[in-house]
Amino acid sequence: MVFSLSEMCSRTRIPFTTCFGVVHVRNALLTIIILQLLGEIIETLQYIFAQSAYVPDFLEFLFEVIESLVLVSTIYGWWKEKKEFIVPLFIQSMLATMVTLLSTVLFFVSMFFPYTAAAEAFIPPGMIEDSASTRRVFFLMCFIFVTPIAALFGWFVMTSLGAYQYYDHKEKLEAFRRSRPLPSLNVR
Give the pLDDT band of residue 131 (cuts 50, 70, 90): confident
179 class by beta-carbon count within 10 Å (0-12 exposed, 13-18 middle, 19+ buried): exposed
Q: Is the pLDDT of residue 66 over 80?
A: yes
Which pLDDT value is given to residue 128? 73
In this prediction, what percent of the chain has a pLDDT beyond 90? 49
Of 181, 169, 183, 186, nearest in space to 16 by CA: 169
Three-state DSSP class for residue 123: coil
Q: Is the pLDDT of residue 141 over 80?
A: yes
- Which runs of consecutive H residues, i.e. helices, occur in 50-131? 58-80, 87-112, 117-122
Give the pLDDT band of residue 13 (cuts 50, 70, 90): low
- What residues contact residue 113 under an 8 Å CB cut-off, 6+ apart? 119
Arithmetic mean of pLDDT, 150-161: 94
Q: Is the pLDDT of residue 65 over 80?
A: yes
Arithmetic mean of pLDDT, 77-105: 94
Which pLDDT value is given to residue 12? 58
Contacts 24+ apart (CB under 8 A), 127-131: none
Which pLDDT value is given to residue 179? 84
Q: Could you count the other beta carbons within 10 Å of the beta carbon of residue 103?
A: 18
Of 97, 96, 72, 100, nearest in space to 86 by CA: 72
pLDDT digits (tens, 9 = 90+) for 172-182: 988 888 887 77
Phi/psi region, residue 21 (left: phi>0; alpha: psi -120 to 50; beta: rest), is: left
pLDDT digits (tens, 9 = 90+) for 156-167: 999 999 999 999
pLDDT digits (tens, 9 = 90+) for 17-41: 888 778 888 999 999 999 999 999 9
- What residues contact residue 7 under an 8 Å CB cut-off, 6+ apart? 13, 21
Arithmetic mean of pLDDT, 120-134: 81
Residue type, 44: T
